[in-house]
Amino acid sequence: MIRSQRWKGAAFTVPFQLGFVFLYLLPIGYAVYQSLYREQQSGLGLGGATEQFAGFDNYRQGLTDSAFMGSVLRVMLFACVQIPVMLLISLALALLLDALTSKVAGRFRILLLVPYMIPGVVAAIVWINLYSPEVGPLTPLGELFGFDWNFFAPSMVWPAIGNLLTWHGIGYNMVIIYSALQGVPRELFEAARLDGASEWRIARSIKIPFVRGALVLTGMLSIIQMLQIFNEPALFRNVTPQTVSDTFTPIMIIYNQAFNAGNYHYAATLSVLLALILGVASFLFYKLTSREVD
Amino acid sequence: MVLTDKAMKDTKESAGRPVRRLNRPDSAARSRGGQRFLLVGLILASMYSLFPVWWLIVASTKDRTGLYQSNGLWFSGWHLWDNLEQLFTYEDGIFLRWTANSFLYAGLGSLGGTLLALATGYGLARFEFPGRNLVFAAVVGSFLIPIALLTLPLYLLFSEIGLVDTPWAMLIPCLINPFSVYLAKVYTEATIPYELLEAARIDGAGELRIFFSIVLRMMTTGGATVFLLAFVNTWNAFFLPLTVLRGEENWTLNLGLYNWSGKRLESGVDLTSLVLTGALLSIVPMAIMMVAMRRYWRTGVTLGALK
């Protein structure tokens, strides 16, 4: 390639690069910078606040902050339950679809993708109202079967959010797993059938190992989203603030530190910490799930 | 982001053309009972998917008494028009304003973002220049950055230059979308051959002319997918508008609905009926777009897995 063309090619990417610096690198740098400082009230607080270098003090505080670390643990524990359940259902549905003719499969795929078309905030609003003992049909339905459930009770709020996330996510994950399944060479099934393998055996020994990559991918995406969960608990908090505290998830804590406590330095520190935790968690998940693939 | 080579390859292959299999010999070999079992499973799953939407539709046709007293899964009286009228007149029609804002941010932001992403993706896919790999690594690496890490400092930077609480605070971040760049690069690789560019150059076309009159035209499908996904993302955004928009005249639909749903605890005003009708309306543009652009977004969703 001629030299001048190379630079013309680079020129196509320049507007994006400038924007990337302004909207990504600069904010991250600013957050890291802020995390190393703290606000110091001078005198009796009348002289205004001055910034003072704090080194890693904010980080020390963050790592021993039981509310923050508690919220990280809470979300991670929840992820360990919700994500496998959601992915298992998605996998099962993808396998069911894969066994149908493509015309019928296409119709079901659209139906199952309907929740994915619904904005997250709206999905949360709908389910909160379904759960509501006043307007929702789920409470009378429970009574019909002898359950006296209160979805806004502390023990039920995570299952309630989990169901909402599962409902919202299975269609999307199913499509990804399904398209991976479409890549399995069909001759393999015929060969297995000739050898007398049952459909269940084919699914277990051929299809599932084949879509492992897609499962790892969807799992990783779900972990990234889960650690940053905010919308759903924020909307639940609108209805039941006594159950969903403002320290319920890491991002809720960060938001509160910044906008209610006005402590930007600490909020920045916690954001950097969350980014690091996210990086480590995704790396570990990837290492753990892909070690046997090759 | 770390990916398995396999998944990367699969997705790339399906990016250009949707894979469609006409005859599936294995399904014919299946027993009738087995088929019925499959169908029952899928019907149950579809019911789970659809019943909340059904409930929302039914609920928006009810008045307050109906909402609180009748069976949630069936109609009782037809008050949809009254609800809509209330929705559009409440607080001087602020809901319409929010709708217009959502369209403005999602429409304009995604249009600009898509154009920028196509140029960048094309530059990355079809030219060799120093630093290219670094730019691409930055694009992919940024998928892992938590939203709070970007949004809070962005809020502070925007407030320094007086952009907080203006439409710009929503529009500018939409222009730079690494995931769109990633998609645009993949699509360019699948649709724009080197030979074509060489031929155009030999004919004496300038690089800008090649981009605007050849590349963009050939990238209609890819561009539509990038636009659609960016539009959906902005329409669904919540944390960014919550952070950078204060006055309610600039809010998005999501922010408005969130605020209304909290009114009851805050000030005892029960807006459930309005919230539900508004929620239903805010799905409509999504549904229309997704159905109209079905053939584009399916490949987009699959590619979305790489995000």
On the 0-12 / 13-18 / 19+ scale of CB atoms within 10 A, A42 is exposed
By residue count, chain B amounts to 307
> pLDDT-based confidence at A160, cuts 50/70/90?
very high
Task: Look at residue B67 in the predicted model and tell me its pLDDT.
Answer: 79
pTM of the model: 0.87
ipTM: 0.89
CA atoms within 13 A on the CB side of A114: 15
Quick one: DSSP state of residue B210?
I
Phi and psi angles of residue B199, each rounded to the nearest 5 degrees, phi first: -60, -45
> pLDDT-based confidence at B4, cuts 50/70/90?
very low
pLDDT in tens, B53-93: 999 999 988 887 777 877 777 777 788 888 888 889 988 98
Average pLDDT, chain A: 89
Kindly determine whether residue A99 and residue B7, on different chains, have CB atoms separated by under 8 Å: no
Residue B9 contacts A, CB cutoff 8 Å = no
Q: At what angle do helices A212-227 and B5-16 cross, to 10 degrees?
A: 100
Distance from CA of B119 to the nearest CA of A (A): 5
CA distance B116 to B181: 8
Task: Look at residue B37 in the predicted model and tell me its pLDDT.
Answer: 82
CA distance A166 to B105: 29
Looking at beta carbons, which residues of chain A come within 8 Å of B135?
Answer: 13, 17
CA distance B210 to B205: 6
Q: CB-based contacts of B197: which residues, under 8 Å, 6+ apart?
A: B126, B210, B214
pLDDT in tens, A91-134: 999 999 988 887 888 889 889 989 988 999 999 999 999 999 88
Task: Look at residue B7 in the predicted model and tell me its pLDDT.
Answer: 43
- Nearest residue, CB atoms, B239 vs list A13, A125, A230: A230
- Nearest residue, CB atoms, A16 vs list B4, B20, B116: B116
Task: Look at residue A43 in the predicted model and tell me its pLDDT.
Answer: 58
Quote the Cα angle for A111-A113-A116, to 5°: 140
Kindly determine whether residue A118 and residue B21, on different chains, have CB atoms separated by under 8 Å: no
Instruction: For residue B28, give both structure tokens.
Output: 């014919």
CA distance A252 to A234: 8
Q: Which of residues 143-172 of B touch A (CB under 8 A)?
A: 143-150, 152-157, 172
Kindly determine whether residue A175 and residue B154, on different chains, have CB atoms separated by under 8 Å: no
Average pLDDT over residues A56-84: 95
- Nearest residue, CB atoms, A112 vs list B45, B130, B294: B45
Determine the longest span between alpha carbons in chain B, in angstroms: 75
